[in-house]
Amino acid sequence: MEFVQAARRFNATGAIWPSTVLPPRSRALAKEGDQENWLFEIHERSCRALGWHLSGAMRRHSNPLKVVTSFVAGVCNPRHAELGALGSVWSLPESRRRHVQGAFQELANRLASVLEAGRSAGAIRSCDCLIASQLILGLVLWTPVAVCQAPPRKLLNGRRLVEGLQDLVLYGRSGGGPEAHRLSQLAHNFLVGDQGDPLQCLVSRTINRAGAEAVTAAFIASELPCSEMEANQALRRLHPVIDSCQQRALALVLELRDHAFGGSEDQRAGFAAFMCGLAEAYLRDDVQPLSPLAISSSVGPCDAVRVRWRAIWELLRQRQVEGVAKQQVRERFYDLSPIFVSAICAFLCSGLWTPSAKEAGYAAREVAALTWLGLAPPVGGA
């Protein structure tokens, strides 16, 4: 029970404060090793639970789509204990980090084999099955974290979230309609330009993978052309640095949204392009903004930042309302899209993603295609 509570605390902080996994009474006296042990135990527990649910789904069903929906239902069932997102994995010692990454990759390979068999049989549309399997695992782990950051909503209940996640994975936002174009070029319009202050990019990437507690003057001095004294000056107060990283992430999301939707009346191309650009930004080390689920990480008040994020997601929701009215976007669960998009972005920059032999743009297009088309084959054949 103590590990369940620790996982819940960890998820509630956006999974970027490793020290939150410790029991509250022991935090003041805890040593660094205690924190590492608890975090490792939570991650191991999550991987074991994922494996158990996947094995059960594979025993119960032969249809690969039913395996996926059963797996999602089992992991995200509100009656089951909450699993800890596999965040801050780079804060673990290398041997333990590799253990967690290896366990996650083994799960991804198992699920990918199910999807590959379904693709060969025509039960799943043509896609990169390993990318799809990683994304599904990321969604089931990070959706609870995204829910913690979401504003209270009457319909934001556990059962509806499970149904919404199943629906997204199967049918995407388009319901298997024609794939939108403009996927390959969008991100480069903004992402190849000036990415701003190197300190912000480094801090964002470090927080996403190892947690805010890994942002130290010694680390910054080892990564950037500056002395430890200069790094100490920059990090004298951590909150303003994190806040600047959050502002950079907000600006990038707004810029990508404007590039994706532009003045077009066709919402279909806009949604696919927005997700493609967002995925590429979070996959690229030279661009990677702060995770959208890192809002509660600031060591000071962050209401203004939280309000701005919610305003952006509200604009995205309004786009979906327009798309539904024009029959360009599916109506089902459209209000949950910001939660799932946040979970995807947080997973992509978590340090668990296995880089493809191909470029980040390829992986981003696959991510966008899954969220837009789902796994189910189009009507009339693959």
Q: What is the pLDDT of residue 54?
A: 97
| One-character DSSP codes across 132-174 | HHHHHHHHHHHHHHHHHHSPP-TT--HHHHHHHHHHHHHHTTT
Contacts of residue 206, Cβ cutoff 8 Å, sequence gap at least 6: 90, 214, 215, 219
Cβ atoms of 372 and 275 within 8 Å: the answer is yes
Which value, in Å, is the radius of gyration of the alpha carbons in the chain? 20
CB-count exposure of residue 155 (10 Å: 0-12, 13-18, 19+): exposed
Mean pLDDT by 10 residues, the chain (382 residues): 80 78 62 77 94 96 95 90 88 94 96 96 93 96 84 66 93 62 49 66 91 86 82 76 84 82 69 86 88 62 60 70 73 81 92 73 89 82 46
Q: Which two tokens stand for residue 302?
A: 């962050």
pLDDT at 26: 56
Can you give the pLDDT at residue 122? 92
261 with 319: CB under 8 angstroms?
A: yes
HEC letters along 193-262:
CCCCCHHHHHHHHHHHHHCHHHCCHHHHHHHCCCCHHHHHHHCCCHHHHHHHHHHHHHHHHHHHHHHHHC
Q: What is the model's pLDDT at position 301?
A: 43
Which residues, 6 or more positions from 231, have their beta carbon under 8 angstroms from its beta carbon?
A: 217, 218, 220, 221, 224
Q: For residue 136, what are its two tokens?
A: 């599904």
Which tokens go with 109?
């390979």
- In terms of pTM, does the model score above 0.95? no
- Residue 20 DSSP symbol: G
* pLDDT at residue 31, as a whole number: 56
* 158: alpha, beta or left? (left if phi > 0; alpha if psi -120 to 50): alpha
Q: What tokens does 71 get?
A: 């797996």
Cα 87 from Cα 99, distance rounded (Å): 14
Report pLDDT for 1. 64
- The single residue listed with the structure tokens 């837009």 is 372
Taking a C-beta distance cutoff of 8 angstroms, is the pair 136, 72 a contact?
Answer: yes
* Cβ(295)–Cβ(207) below 8 Å: no
Q: Give φ, ψ of 138 to 5 degrees.
A: -60, -40
CA distance 215 to 65: 42
Residues contacting residue 7 through CB under 8 Å, at least 6 positions apart? 21, 42, 45, 46, 81, 82, 83, 84
